[in-house]
Amino acid sequence: MFKNTYTWSKTATAAAVVLTAAAVLAATPGVASALSAPLSCARIATHFDLARHQTPENIALAPDGSAYVTFAAARQDARITPGGSTRILATLPAPADGGVHTPVLGFALTTGIVRAHDGTLYFLYATGTSELTGLWRLRPGGTPQRIAALPAAGLPNGLALDPRTRSLYVTDSVLGTISSVPTTGGTPRTWSAAPELASTGFLGANGLKIQGGALWVTNLDQGTVLRIPVLRDGRVGRVQTWATGLAGIDDFVFTGHGDQILAALNGPGEVALVQPDGAHSTVLTAADGLQNPTSIALRGDTAYVLSAAYVTAKDPNLLLAHLNG
């Protein structure tokens, strides 16, 4: 995630200025499409309304073809129908200070989202206030409620659900931690505070997935993908740096071919294919419609890529592409 200093704040932080400059350089005119195997047939399926702060941050898919997204700056959860229409499910209460004390970014935002088998949505909200920052739940047809408070000094970001243990895992991009919370809610437990999760000045631990008995985590500042085994007693194993050199990496998804992933590179405006040995190549670029991609998910052979346009401030959208093989 990146701060759009024009839309949400007239006073840019030093980190945002640096990232904006990097993104502008990465998105210079003439960028060629990198659409290549295993992706094909990329198209923009839905355009979101930037005037309504519809900056899509994270995505969870449902069996009926719907996609559930968080609109970061609007503080909302929404459902995108298979036909591409958008329905707002919930708008989170604004903090009394307007969100200006949200760490690093300076605006309140909804971030990670997951969907349980019964249709319950779990999502994160960062406000810089102890009253609202935390893990929230939205049951079908219900209203959102906070089920676990998270540190106001942090920025909860990535979210993963382990249905086997009925646990939720949360990355904090400012504090450089992973916490665990039961799906029933309660007091979070710091699961890992490994140095590999730390930021180097902006945002650290970010995207989060569970596969093969391990948590997989991206670090935006360090451009890395980490694999952290979950031991039999639930404790943290030794952190393994699985891939490097992925500048601006945000969220990611496993392709179904072992440990191969597709990763959203926010600042450069690209999607990268990362092989099990850590080697990576660019498979989508701004020429394909990407504008600060934040999240990526997979249903069958269709990849869903969200672009928030945090820096480009032009066209937040949902891109679909076919995953071959």
pLDDT, tens digit, for every residue of 294-313? 999 999 999 999 999 999 99
pLDDT by residue (tens digit) across 7-19?
333 333 333 433 4
What average pLDDT is seen over the chain?
A: 91
Q: Characterize 120-134 residue by residue with b for buried, 16 or more Cβ atoms within 10 angstroms of its Cβ, and e for exposed.
A: ebbbbbbbbeeebbb
Lowest mean per-residue pLDDT among 10-14, 37-41, 248-252, 281-285:
10-14
How many C-beta atoms surround the C-beta of residue 35 within 10 A? Answer: 17
Q: Is residue 47 exposed (0-12), middle (13-18) or buried (19+ Cβ within 10 Å)?
A: middle
pLDDT at 1: 64
Lowest mean per-residue pLDDT among 32-41, 49-58, 280-289:
32-41
Torsion of CA 174, 175, 180, 184, to 10 degrees: -60
Q: For the chain, give me the number of helices (H) and strands (E)?
A: 1, 24
Q: Report how far residue 286's alpha carbon sits from residue 32's, in angstroms, rounded to the nearest whole number.
A: 8
Q: Report how far residue 32's alpha carbon sits from residue 47's, in angstroms, rounded to the nearest whole number.
A: 21
pLDDT confidence band for 33 (50 / 70 / 90): confident
pLDDT at 142: 97
User: Contact 239/229 with Cβ under 8 angstroms?
Assistant: no
Output the pTM of the full model: 0.92
Q: Report how far residue 31's alpha carbon sits from residue 106's, in angstroms, rounded to the nearest whole number.
A: 31
For residue 30, pLDDT beyond 70: no
pLDDT by residue (tens digit) across 153-165?
999 999 999 999 9
